[in-house]
Amino acid sequence: MSVAHRRGDAPTVTFVVPMPGDSSGSWLPLFKSLQRQTSESWNAVFVHKLPADKVPADDGKVSHIAAGTGAKLADALNRGLAAVQGDFVAFLNPASRLAPEATALLLAEAASGADIAYGDERIGADTFFKPEFSPERLRCQPYLGDTTLFKASLVNQVGGIRADVEGAELYDLALSTTRVASRVAHVAEVLSSRPAKSIANLWTIPADVQNSNISVVLGGHLRQTGGGKVLAVGANGVHRTRRTVKGEPLVSIVIPTRGDRAVIHGSDRCLVVEAVRSVVEMSTYKNIEFVVVLDSSAPDDVTAQLREVAGEALRLVAWDKPFSFSGKINLGVLHSAGEYVLLLNDDVEVISHSWIEPMLALAQLPNAGIVGPMLYFEDETIQHAGHAYIRLDVTHIGLHSLRGSAGPWGAFLVEREVAGVTAACALVRKDLFLSVGGLSPLLPGNFNDVDLCMKLSTAGYQAYWTPNAELYHFESKTRDPSVSRYEVLTAWGRWEHLFWSSPWWPTNPHEVFELGRAYDLH
């Protein structure tokens, strides 16, 4: 991609490079990559952990300043920040190299109104293709990376670089500035390459100090963005944080069923009864009701078993029409009393105890649309880690990857924004569901969830996915799994123009991941 530099009206950037001690010329590859930039709208400040008489001489657009031998990373960053001449600032890893058009591409976003811009990067031997700005993913991992442009006035607005969170300074900066930025832009190009070590690691900050301060930073961020808890800080840059549920709203679990039986885990069972039983036994969230939309042809003992398992929380709704998943769900929602409705297939089994809370907490976020969990097939492979709509394809992320695999850059381990989720298990505010017309009766069997997610998305609501709610999904145990041409034409006729790219999942959604694949943002 070619981006022309326009003199006079283009924003400028200062690259600040914190150098850890006597680098013996290790910054030269970065220096040379700066010299090869196609844009001239930059200058660079190398801040050395050295006395003034040991600092290299300035060289054209590159200046060198001393931070002193006792300087900490925050000291170096703030010394560099004080020397910024550009409208924007980026803090570069001294071991990194910029692609020739990195500056031009980032400044093009700045010129179009972005306060922050970041790009894809090569880390070690792998390339990190990043999603569009994803604030929920950001609180789980510092995915913006080193090649990130910040509006200089915005950095000053949040108080500059914190000196009390050693090893977490730049993560704190990313979180604090994105909270107040008007727009955060992603450049879908590989803008830099660097070894696996982060800036904090190059400055040899002990891991326990880094992790403790990351926990402090994340705790503060959660308090300022609706609440939550830091459960664990990962050495690989993937952190376990949870949003907290506000209040105790009633959740109506809507289950359409014919009362069928199937062999699961080697034993014959009534699917809907065992699905409800798993919810009752595994759920720590108790303010729920079951709205079971049951075919009038269902065996008589199904009703009795459901009443025994669910008790007073059961609400039965009769269905005497031809099969329509959409119709049954819509009818169940109309009979529900909850503020939230949880659409649930009868061929599921809950695995994790606290499965409703992480979904509900995400559904309570401002502009939240629909939320889905991690689903596994009976053979312990992933069935669903979110939807991706890309290159005219509609698919499940992570399909057939092994349970426990991390996914690309830990994506199967973090709560994140997605294009959509499956209606096999999905939580949504009841009023939102009704406001977009619920599930389309024109899609009785397939793609009704895609259609719902697209309706919510185009209305301005964001879909989320969480790995902290886990269920088995014994897919198509109760229905014909075939897809009709009519359903394809209907769904693609509505949304084909939006199925070209997947901003929340830029990599191949069909890639299958195994256990033990390495990933490390640190």
309: enclosing H helix or E strand:
helix 300-310
pLDDT-derived band at 5, boundaries 50, 70, 90: very low
Q: pLDDT tens for residues 73-88?
A: 999 999 999 999 999 9
Do 295 and 203 share a structural domain? no
If asked whether residues 386 and 448 sit together in one domain, one would say yes
Each residue of 215-237: pLDDT tens digit?
A: 999 999 999 999 999 999 998 89
Give the model's confidence band at 392: pLDDT under 50 very low, under 70 low, under 90 confident, else very high: confident
189, 116: one domain? yes
pLDDT at 406 over 90: yes
Domain-ending residue, one of 227, 243, 269: 227
pLDDT at 507: 85
Is 404 within a domain? yes
Q: Which domain holds residue 43?
A: 13-227
Pair 462, 417: CB distance under 8 Å? yes
Reported confidence tier of residue 3, pLDDT bands at 50, 70, 90: very low
Give a yes or no: residue 104 inside a domain.
yes
Check whether residue 488 and residue 420 sit in a common domain: yes
Do 265 and 396 lie in one domain? The reply is yes
User: Which pLDDT tens digit goes with each residue over 177-191?
Assistant: 999 999 999 999 999
Clarify whether residues 167 and 266 are in a common domain: no
Q: Where does the pLDDT of residue 391 fall: very low under 50, low under 70, confident under 90, or very high at 90 and above?
A: confident
**Within a domain: 243:** no
Same domain (yes/no): 290, 220 = no
CB-based contacts of 407, cutoff 8 Å, min separation 6: 385, 397, 398, 401, 413, 513
- Tokens 């904090």, residue? 200
- CATH number of the domain enclosing 30: 3.90.550.10
Task: Please indicate, yes or no, whether residues 287 and 159 belong to a single structural domain of this protein.
Answer: no
Q: What are phi and psi of 404, to 5 degrees?
A: 95, -10
Q: Is residue 167 part of a domain?
A: yes
Residues 80, 197: one domain? yes
Identify whether 246 is part of a domain: no
- For residue 257, pLDDT over 50 is answered with yes
Residue 238 lies in a domain: no
Give me the pLDDT at residue 481, please: 64
Q: Is the pLDDT of residue 4 over 50?
A: no
Query: Do 255 and 158 sit in the same domain of this protein?
Result: no
Structural domain total, the chain:
2
Amino acid at 84: V
Q: What is the 3-state secondary structure (H, E, C) of 167-227?
A: CCHHHHHHHHHHHHCCCEEEEEEEEEEECCCCHHHHCCCCHHHHHHHHHHHHHHHHHHCCC
Q: Verify that 177 and 321 share a domain, yes or no.
A: no
Over range 311-327, report the average pLDDT: 97
DSSP bridge pairs for 48: 19, 66
The answer to whether residue 172 is domain-embedded is yes
Q: Are residues 111 and 199 in the same domain?
A: yes
Q: Identify whether 485 is part of a domain.
A: yes
Taking every pair of C-alpha atoms in the chain, what is the biggest distance, in angstroms? 90
With beta carbons less than 8 A apart as the criterion, state whether 406 and 517 touch. yes
CB 11 within 8 A of CB 87: yes
